[in-house]
Amino acid sequence: MSAVTDVVRASHALAAAGLSDMVWGHASVRDPNGRGAWMKASGYGFEEIQEDRVVLVSPDGDVVSGNGRRHLEFPIHTEIFGCRDDVGAVVHIHAPALSAFTSRQRDLLPISHDAVPFTFPQLPRFTVTGALIATKELGLALAQELGDANGILMPHHGAVTVGPDIGTAVMYAVLLERACHTQLLADAAGGALTASDESETRFKREQIWNPSQLNAGWEYLVRRANTAPRSVDGDRQRGPDARVVRNE
């Protein structure tokens, strides 16, 4: 399957999971020939992406292939690809629960299965800026802070997740939003809070979120996107729980 097709499928899956933010947020796939990042074109929502709305962006920000405009935050993708040979795909979202959680200045706890991939060790936070990652310097700083983690929180902004393939990167984005939402609910309820310890968390990471299970979730989101009702102009509509948030 081509990188372009992967970006289209990822965009629709993120929309089906309710992670749209109007025309902001983006997913990318590493170009197999080392030319940069294949990512959704600027100006479109996740649910609107088709093959002619995917562009190849070079590390310098040039649109190498495709007719669309690139996102200002392309350095998130190109700089992570430059620093992490093991990363094949990157997702950047502004989902409401994770955006709220980043302001809490506390660790994410494995109180649900969803948080397991991001604890022990704790996922990092990028605190250099809450503004756009619109320069190569900021993109590099973000990539360095990400280190070898599978995600990074961006206070006052959103989050980035990565994976060896697009399905894993998308699933990590979905799980991170769910994990933050669950912890916010638990915090709001008050009282004592329990969570899996390190040993159980590491066991659950292999039992529950091994590559096979991650792929099962990814394929479900792809199926859900493919069966979403179409709007009058023929485009797929977002899933029924899709949320729209002004963030940037």
What is the rounded average pLDDT of the residues 71-82?
98
User: Minimum mean pLDDT among 182-186, 189-193, 234-238: which range?
Assistant: 234-238
Residue % of the chain over a pLDDT of 90:
89
Is residue 214 pLDDT above 90, yes or no? yes
Res. 165: pLDDT tops 60: yes
Instruction: Work out the percent of the chain whose per-residue pLDDT is above 70.
Output: 92
User: Does residue 237 have a pLDDT over 50?
Assistant: no
Q: What pLDDT does 229 receive?
A: 63
Classify 230 as helix, strand or coil.
strand
Domain ranges, ordered by start, for the chain? 3-226
- Computed over every residue of the chain, the mean pLDDT equals 92
Q: How many Å apart are CA 135 and CA 143, to the nearest integer?
A: 12
Answer yes or no: are the C-beta atoms of 23 and 44 closer than 8 Å: yes
pLDDT of residue 1: 72
Q: Kindly indicate the confidence band of residue 227, based on its pLDDT and cuts at 50, 70 and 90.
A: confident
Quick one: CA dihedral 79, 82, 86, 90, positive or negative? positive
Choosing among 3.30.70.141, 2.40.100.10, 3.30.1330.10, 3.40.225.10, the CATH entry for 3-226 is: 3.40.225.10
Of 236 and 181, the structure prediction assigns the larger pLDDT to: 181
Q: Read off the tokens for 230.
A: 């179409």
Comparing CA positions, the residue from 248, 116, 106 lying closest to residue 184 is 106
